[in-house]
Amino acid sequence: MRKLITLLLLIPFLSFGQSSDDGLDIDLVYKGIVGNTDQPLSKVQVNDTIILALKLNNLDSSHQITYIHTDVQYNSAAYALISTVWNTPTDANNTASNWSGNGMKMVFSDQHDKNAVWAQWQNGSYLTANNDASATGWQVDHFQSIAPTDIGSVEYATMKYLVKDAGTSNDYTENIIITMARAVDNILTDNADTNGDGNNDEYVYPTGKVRAHDTQFITHIPLEDLDSNIYVKLDAGGDIDLTKIKVKVLQDGTEVADLTFDTGGEVNITEYIISSTKTYKLEFHTTYTEAEWKTITENAVTLSDAVLTLKEVGKFGHGGTLHEFDYGIQYPLADTDESKTINPQDAYNLLGHVIGSFTYYPGGSYAFATTFPIVKTTLAEGYTKQNFLDGVSTDESHEKIIQSTSVTNEINWSLSNNTISYKSAILGDVNLSYSSQIPADASGVMSISNSSSPNGKVVMNPLYMSNNINRNEIFGVGVAKEEVNQAFIDINTAIEDGEVVTTLQLTSEQVAGFQLKLNYDTTRLTFKEVKFDTGQTVTNFAQQADDGRINLGSIQQEANAIANGSTVKVYFTGQVTSPVGTVTVFNTDAVNTEGKRLILNLQ
């Protein structure tokens, strides 16, 4: 599609006049702009300086070129010739000269092909501004070289033109065009005696054998002079591969680019934002398969998220506090019933989701579009609990308007660089294990946003000290990323009495909950049952997902420790000759008796 669009853009630029075949072709070559020779013509802006060259292609093997004179006409309202560089033999006499003055325009002869420029030299004519207003502003320069030796098939003259704003009413068609040319071979040994005087004569390339080809002219409406680089930055957490996330750029509703983020989550959209007045929208999407994305959500939303939410609503342990979240942005992630408040139902929804008894995701779908909120960084970092309670939207959709008549503050055209930054999360990832991290000094940090202490002290994050010399204190409860402790479970799969049995044994103290997800060879084994030996007060769960995975775990909701040595045995029946590889573990999570997340290691 991009190639087609490129071709369509270039169609006005290309002139498909025929070649001279065995004469001389002169090609008007576009060579980019000063500072970026790769810049396509379609992206040239006002105040860029374009580079054009006159390239000779001598197709006459019997003659050389020692004289070449090419006329190039241009609209001085749109372009201004700045300089010419020559590539001709030593001692060549090169001249670039404006001979028309301001106000002369070629009238091509209709008796010859337009690109037969030696024929046009002899048969064309010119309008002048004095007698025809349409010639106003048009000028003609000649680029002539007279050389003692063959000039050859080279870019003999390279010109730089400043691109000007001729206004929207200007007709930019063929605003730089080769109008005429003459070529001669004065190396007499090449030539015959044509007048019978006994001497060889100069050879003038014949009528119809000097042509402007491949390109005779350029037609381009320059873009606005916008010199700001524009980047989109997407932040994510966990194992999310940002190179599998893409963003489309839409201009007035039409897609103009579909770009992949680099490993750092950045993409440059500068070349696609070409107007300060059009509407531009971003649309995020992914190349993750549905199955891959579901796995990510399963890895992101685990037991520790449910327990953290239970704690937030005082349902873990004996009446825990009601302020366990560290960041305001955690509230919408935990609001599973979308009631705009965090209540026990949210916690139980999350727990049920983790256990696998149901999913609270919208429509029961694990789709990327509905489970991956993308939020402006400034909003995510500044979002407070009060914002949540007040119903302030986080605008989590994957479509973001970055410029329109009503959105004017995303791109500051006076800046050399604009970075439009977003943070992301997985819906339900309350502890942000797979979500963007919030800086410790952000206003959305709870210890900062809840800072209206009665004694007037400013409650601050401990990473920040007062710079008031009279208040040499460090305030606040702190939200620096906590060290996550570890727990251990011994795992073993063996064949016992003709059944494949995976045995899990907790080998750590102070563990109040754990969760594991097992894969097994569904082509050979049939899941039979799970037997827990975890004590009387522990809530156990084991759920077989549609894809055959086993989600199992235990939680002691009173926040007491599950006994060290507790075991879980998972039984399978089937036909295998060894247990090797029949059962694997792909996700684990655990919490301690304080409800804090533990890294659960298998051993």
Partner 1 sequence: MKRILLALLILTGCAKDYSIDNTDSLIPDLQVEGDIGLSFYNSTITDTDLFNIKSPINTTYTLEVKDVFNNLITKSTLEAKVGNNVYAFYTNAFKTGHYTISIYHNNQLIAETKQTIL
Of the candidates 408, 429, 407, 411, the one whose C-alpha atom is nearest the C-alpha of residue 419 is 411
Q: What type of residue is 441? A: D
Longest dimension (CA), the chain: 124
Span near partner 1 by CB under 8 A; candidates 1-9, 281-289, 296-304, 485-493: 485-493
- Tell which one of 97, 492, 537, 564 touches partner 1 (CB under 8 A): 492
Which of 198, 364, 391, 498 binds partner 1 (CB under 8 A)? It is 498
Residues between 372 and 411 with contacts to partner 1, criterion CB under 8 A: none
Pick 225 or 496: Cβ nearer partner 1: 496
Unique residue bearing structure tokens 């020559």: 86
Task: Rule CB under 8 A: say whether 497 interacts with partner 1.
Answer: yes
* Helix, strand and coil percent figures for the chain, each rounded to 5: 15, 35, 50
Q: Which DSSP helix (H) or strand (E) runs through 291?
A: helix 290-300
Contact code string over 512-541 relative to partner 1, x by CB under 8 A:
-------xxxxxx-----------------
CA angle 521, 522, 528 (to 5 degrees): 100
Residue of 218, 219, 223, 217 whose CA lies nearest to 165: 223
CB of 292 to partner 1, least distance (A): 10
**Cβ distance 381 to 443 under 8 Å?**
yes
Q: Pick from 8, 322, 477, 602: which binds partner 1 (CB under 8 A)?
A: 602
Q: Smaller CB distance to partner 1: residue 302 or 384? A: 302
Q: Please calculate the CA angle 372-234-359 and round it to the nearest 5 degrees.
A: 10
Comparing CA positions, the residue from 100, 72, 25, 55 lying closest to residue 179 is 72
Between 194 and 601, CB nearer to partner 1: 601
Using the minimum distance from each CB to partner 1, give the nearer residue, 453 or 522.
522
Smallest distance, partner 1 to C-beta of residue 262, A:
22
Does residue 575 interact with partner 1 by CB under 8 A? yes
Return the number of the residue (130 or 584) whose C-beta is nearest partner 1.
584
Binding flag, residue 9, partner 1 (CB under 8 A): no
Please state, in angstroms and as integers, the Cα–Cα distance from residue 153 to each residue in 54, 214, 238, following that order: 10, 14, 59
Out of 583, 590, 591, 598, point to the residue binding partner 1 (CB under 8 A): 583
Smallest separation (angstroms) from partner 1 to the CB of 577:
4
Residue of 429, 586, 582, 600 lying closest to 517 (CA atoms): 586
Can residue 241 be called a binding residue for partner 1 (CB under 8 A)? no
- Quick check: 96 binds partner 1 (CB under 8 A)? no
3-class DSSP state of 463 = coil
- Contact criterion met (CB below 8 Å) for 295 and 328: no
Cβ atoms within 10 Å of 569's Cβ, excluding its own: 15
Check residue 576 for interaction with partner 1 (CB under 8 A): yes
Q: Using the minimum distance from each CB to partner 1, give the nearer residue, 69 or 524.
A: 524
Is residue 511 exposed (0-12), middle (13-18) or buried (19+ Cβ within 10 Å)? buried
- Decide: is 577 part of the binding site for partner 1 (CB under 8 A): yes
Looking at the Cβ atoms of 505 and 560, the one nearer to partner 1 is 505
Task: Report the residue number, 97 or 584, with the smaller CB distance to partner 1.
Answer: 584
Scanning 32-40, 280-288, 441-449, 493-501 for contacts with partner 1 by CB under 8 A, the matching segment is 493-501
Using the minimum distance from each CB to partner 1, give the nearer residue, 347 or 552: 552
3-state secondary structure of 571: strand
Q: Is 459 in the site for partner 1 (CB under 8 A)?
A: no
Least separation, in Å, of the C-beta of 518 and partner 1? 8
DSSP string across 97-153:
EE-S-SSEEEE--TTS-TTBHHHHHHH-EEEETTT-GGGTTEEEEEEEEE-SS---S
Question: Could you tell me where the beta strands, DSSP code E, fall in 153-244?
Answer: 155-163, 176-185, 203-204, 210-212, 217-218, 229-235
Residue 585 near partner 1 by CB under 8 A: yes
Question: Contacting partner 1 (CB under 8 A), which of 126, 153, 579, 594?
Answer: 579
Q: Does 188 bind partner 1 (CB under 8 A)?
A: no
Q: Contacting partner 1 (CB under 8 A), which of 499, 528, 567, 569? A: 499
The single residue among 494, 529, 545, 558 that binds partner 1, judged by CB under 8 A, is 494
In this complex, which beta carbon is closest to partner 1, that of residue 199 or of residue 522?
A: 522
Least separation in angstroms between CB 495 and partner 1: 6
Give yes or no for residue 190 binding partner 1 (CB under 8 A).
no
The count of other CB atoms within 10 Å of the CB of residue 125 is: 9
> Whose Cβ is closer to partner 1: residue 189's or residue 523's?
523
> How many residues line the site for partner 1 (CB under 8 A)?
33
Residues whose CB falls within 8 Å of the CB of residue 92, separated by 6 or more in sequence, listed in order:
86, 145, 146, 147, 148, 151
- C-beta of 394 vs 433, nearer to partner 1: 433
Please pick, from the candidates 29, 162, 221, 495, the single residue that binds partner 1 as defined by CB under 8 A: 495
C-alpha to C-alpha distances, 517 to 49, 149, 303, 534, nearest whole angstrom: 61, 81, 11, 18
Contact status, residue 398 vs residue 286, Cβ threshold 8 Å? no
Stretch that binds partner 1, among 192-200, 215-223, 422-430, 583-591 (CB under 8 A): 583-591
| CB 507, min distance to partner 1, A | 13
Q: Which two tokens stand for residue 165?
A: 């704003």
Query: Counting contacts by CB under 8 A, is residue 493 touching partner 1?
Result: yes
Identified binder of partner 1 from the candidate list 158, 582, 592, 593, rule CB under 8 A: 582
Q: By CB under 8 A, is residue 584 in contact with partner 1?
A: yes
Q: Which two tokens stand for residue 57?
A: 């292609």
Q: How far is the CB of 499 from partner 1 (least distance, A)?
A: 7
Q: Choose one: 56-64, 296-304, 561-569, 576-584; the region binding partner 1 (CB under 8 A).
A: 576-584
| Cα gap 2→6, rounded to integer Å | 6
End-to-end CA distance of the chain: 52
The residues that touch partner 1, with contacts defined as CB under 8 A, are: 491-500, 519-524, 573-586, 601-603
